[in-house]
């Protein structure tokens, strides 16, 4: 029987009436490795696979060496020096078989069972230790020979990938698909930002996570997945939600930023910061069976050149309320990884001056040209306000515009009457508000600020950028 435990291992009595030889092996944490001072160890396992492979190993050992009984217990989590990491107990009819069987298991366990070891050193640093032959494979170029063969990659291109620093903002549906290909291609340094925990409703599209990881931190689980592909990828995790306060710090060490969020506010924030810091951004959005993707490079048009204002919440669906098919997120995530690889390797055809629209239902795709827009705030690195058209008070409007109009959009029987200057016309004469002509900055007022917000959002989407909404409506006057 093979077992993983986060608790200290208590060695249990082990007997078998048909056996004459018993061997018990105990592996402990030692205080040094390769001349370095080790202060503790950390074991991480892909639990389901580890248990399945462990049980298979035991069955093979029993058959091969005639063992009558085998038990293996392996610790996971943090272990201090002197603590027991693994206990292997075997019983066989004779001592020789017991010794040979136990030794065989010790070796095979190390090679075959997916348990990863991280050594923490006295100087405060730590390192994942390759298990079995993965270390050797990934340190050489053997793992990448099939792509090095490509004329536009070669040894030089592989080195560029090894030197690359890529940040995944969000490891949901998009990031889950981008991460394995980026790591498998040999990207040297990966940052992972996500403050969420794995939820059961994520599993249909966020393929980095297993059912037994529900409730665990996404950033950490995604990092563990990356290390299983390549134990030598340098992974840094940021288990937090990115916002205007922490974004600059998180982005600082990375050259390529992959936006895997479904938040428009975050997309525009990353857009402006990447422009300000001279980094490249690959951003994608998905809606039901469609996806769109574009790349922002330091000297190309940005997201805000295309969308001068952040579209309002509710006008673009998110996965949680509109539903999403896993493969759509997956496809767009792989497009994002492709853009990053193209950018790093200098392959032509980057979506830096275009946007690709993909309809996975019909298989149609459309590449729209994008151009730089003059006086674009995003290009200047200024983070766009989510609601630049909400005016906090009429005094604010006065100082901002000098001259402006006010339109009261309440129903005729709503009170109190507005007694303010600049009132454009009586409510009874307004007619169809969606067609209203604006003669300069115009502040719309309703009872609470909600109806005016919706109207102004609608007017602005129709290109009427002189429309403003007064927060809190007549109360705010
Ligand atoms: Zn721009």
What is the average pLDDT across 310-335? 74
- 379 CA distance to ligand 1 middle (Å): 4
Alpha carbon of 382 to ligand 1 centroid (Å): 10
Partners of 358 in beta bridges: 291, 365
SS3 state at 65: helix
Q: What is the pLDDT of residues 59-101, one digit of tens each?
A: 988 987 889 999 999 999 999 999 999 999 999 999 888 988 8
What was the pLDDT predicted at 463? Answer: 84
- Identify the band that residue 419 occupies on the pLDDT scale cut at 50, 70 and 90: confident
Q: Give the model's pLDDT for residue 248.
A: 95
CATH superfamily entry for domain 390-476? Rhodanese-like domain (3.40.250.10)
Residue 35 has pLDDT above 80, yes or no: no
**Which of 51-55, 129-133, 333-337: highest mean pLDDT?**
333-337
Rounded distance from Cα 275 to ligand 1 centre (Å): 8
The CATH number for 144-369, chosen from 3.40.50.150, 3.40.50.720, 3.40.640.10, 3.30.930.10, is 3.40.50.720
Q: Which one has a higher pLDDT value, 35 or 472? A: 472
Percentage of the chain beyond pLDDT 90 is: 61
Q: What is the mean pLDDT of residues 113-134?
A: 79
Catalytic residue among 319, 376, 379, 446: 319
Q: Confirm whether 2-129 and 144-369 share one CATH topology.
A: no
Whole-number pLDDT of residue 314: 45
Residue 269 has pLDDT above 80, yes or no: yes
How do the domains of the chain map onto residue ranges?
2-129, 144-369, 390-476
Instruction: Identify the band that residue 171 occupies on the pLDDT scale cut at 50, 70 and 90.
Output: very high
Question: Cα dist. 268→242, 262, 272, 308, 311 in Å?
Answer: 12, 11, 6, 10, 10
Ligand 1 center to 158 CA (angstroms): 32
Q: In the predicted model, what is the mean pLDDT of the chain? A: 89
pLDDT at 201: 92
On whether the pTM is more than 0.85, the answer is: no
The closest alpha carbon to 307, from 257, 363, 358, 370, belongs to 370
319-327: which pairs have CB atoms within 8 A and are 24 or more residues apart? 319/172, 319/173, 319/205, 319/262, 319/286, 322/287, 322/288, 323/288, 324/173, 324/205, 324/286, 324/288, 325/205, 325/288, 325/289, 325/360, 326/173, 326/204, 326/205, 326/207, 327/360
Active-site residue, 102 included:
no
Sorting pLDDT into bands at 50, 70 and 90, what band is 321?
A: low
Percent residues over pLDDT 70 in the chain: 95
Q: In Å, how far are 381, 439, 444 from 410, measured between CA atoms?
A: 39, 20, 10
Structural class in CATH, domain 2-129: alpha beta
For residue 380, report the distance from its CA to the centre of ligand 1, in Å: 7
**307 CA from centroid of ligand 1 (Å):** 9
Which range, of 33-37, 197-201, 319-323, 431-435, averages the lowest pLDDT? 319-323
Q: What integer pLDDT is reported at residue 406 of this predicted model? A: 93
**Each residue of 216-267: pLDDT tens digit?**
889 989 998 998 898 778 888 898 999 989 999 999 999 999 999 998 889 9
Q: How far is the CA of 386 from the centre of ligand 1 (A)?
A: 16
Q: What is the distance in A from the centroid of ligand 1 to the CA of 351?
A: 15
pLDDT at 320: 55
What DSSP string runs through 423-477?
B-S-GGG---GGGPPPSS-EEEE-SSSHHHHHHHHHHHHTT-TTEEEETTGGGG-
Question: Considering only 26-40, 269-283, 378-392, 395-409, which range has the smallest mean pLDDT?
Answer: 378-392
């Amino acid at each position: 029987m093979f077992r993983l435990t986060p608790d200290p291992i208590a060695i249990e009595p082990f007997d078998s009436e048909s056996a004459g030889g018993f061997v018990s092996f105990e592996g402990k944490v030692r205080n040094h490795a390769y001349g370095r001072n080790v202060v503790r160890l950390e074991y991480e396992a892909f639990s389901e696979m580890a248990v399945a492979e462990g049980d298979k190993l035991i069955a093979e050992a029993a058959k091969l060496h005639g063992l009558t009984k085998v038990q293996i217990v392996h610790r996971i989590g943090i272990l201090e020096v002197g603590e027991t990491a693994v206990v292997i107990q075997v019983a066989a009819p004779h001592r020789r078989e017991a010794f040979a069987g136990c030794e065989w298991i010790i070796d095979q366990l190390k090679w075959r069972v997916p348990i990863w070891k991280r050594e923490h050193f006295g100087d405060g640093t730590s390192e994942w230790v390759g298990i079995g032959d993965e270390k050797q494979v990934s340190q050489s170029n053997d793992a990448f020979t099939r792509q090095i063969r490509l004329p536009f990659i070669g040894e030089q291109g592989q080195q560029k990938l090894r030197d690359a620093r890529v940040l995944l903002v969000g490891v949901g549906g998009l990031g889950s698909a981008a991460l394995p290909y980026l790591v498998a291609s040999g990207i040297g340094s990966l940052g992972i930002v996500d403050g969420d925990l794995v939820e059961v409703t994520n599993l249909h599209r966020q393929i980095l996570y297993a059912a037994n990881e529900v409730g665990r931190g996404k950033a950490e689980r995604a990092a563990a997945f990356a290390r299983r592909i390549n134990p030598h990828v340098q992974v840094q995790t940021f288990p937090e939600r990115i916002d205007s306060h922490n974004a600059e710090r998180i982005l600082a060490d990375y050259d390529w930023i992959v936006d895997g969020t479904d938040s428009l506010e975050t997309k525009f924030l990353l857009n402006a910061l990447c422009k300000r810091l001279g980094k490249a951004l690959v951003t994608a959005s998905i809606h039901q069976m469609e996806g769109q993707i574009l790349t922002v490079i330091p000297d190309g048009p940005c997201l805000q050149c295309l969308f001068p204002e952040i579209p309002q919440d509710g006008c673009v669906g998110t996965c949680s309320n509109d539903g999403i098919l896993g493969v759509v997120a997956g496809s767009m995530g792989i497009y994002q990884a492709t853009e990053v690889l193209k950018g790093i390797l200098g392959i032509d055809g980057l979506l830096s001056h275009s946007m690709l629209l993909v309809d996975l239902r019909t298989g149609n795709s459309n590449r729209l040209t994008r151009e730089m827009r003059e006086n674009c705030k995003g290009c200047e690195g200024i983070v766009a306000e989510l609601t630049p058209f909400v005016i906090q008070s009429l005094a604010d409007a006065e100082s901002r515009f000098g001259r402006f109009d006010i339109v009261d959009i309440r129903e005729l029987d709503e009170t109190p009457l507005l007694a303010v200057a600049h009132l454009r016309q009586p409510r009874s004469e307004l007619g169809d508000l969606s067609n209203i002509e604006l003669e300069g900055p115009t502040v719309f007022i309703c009872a609470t600020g909600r109806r005016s917000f919706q109207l102004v959002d609608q007017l602005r989407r129709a290109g009427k950028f002189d429309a403003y909404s007064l927060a809190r409506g007549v109360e705010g006057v």
